[in-house]
Amino acid sequence: DAGVIQSPRHEVTEMGQEVTLRCKPISGHNSLFWYRQTMMRGLELLIYFNNNVPIDDSGMPEDRFSAKMPNASFSTLKIQPSEPRDSAVYFCASSFRFGGRQETQYFGPGTRLLVL
Partner 1 sequence: AQTVTQSQPEMSVQEAETVTLSCTYDTSESNYYLFWYKQPPSRQMILVIRQEAYKQQNATENRFSVNFQKAAKSFSLKISDSQLGDTAMYFCAFMRGAGNQFYFGTGTSLTVIP
Q: Where does this chain bind partner 1 (CB under 8 A)?
A: 31, 33, 42-43, 45, 48, 50, 55-56, 89, 91, 93, 97, 100-102, 104-107, 109-110, 112
- Give least dist CB 30 to partner 1, A: 11
- Give least dist CB 81 to partner 1, A: 25
Of 65 and 90, CB closest to partner 1: 90
- Give least dist CB 110 to partner 1, A: 5
Q: Where are the beta strands (DSSP E) in the chain?
A: 5-7, 10-13, 19-24, 31-38, 42-50, 53-56, 65-71, 74-79, 88-95, 97-98, 101-102, 106-107, 111-115
DSSP state of 25: P
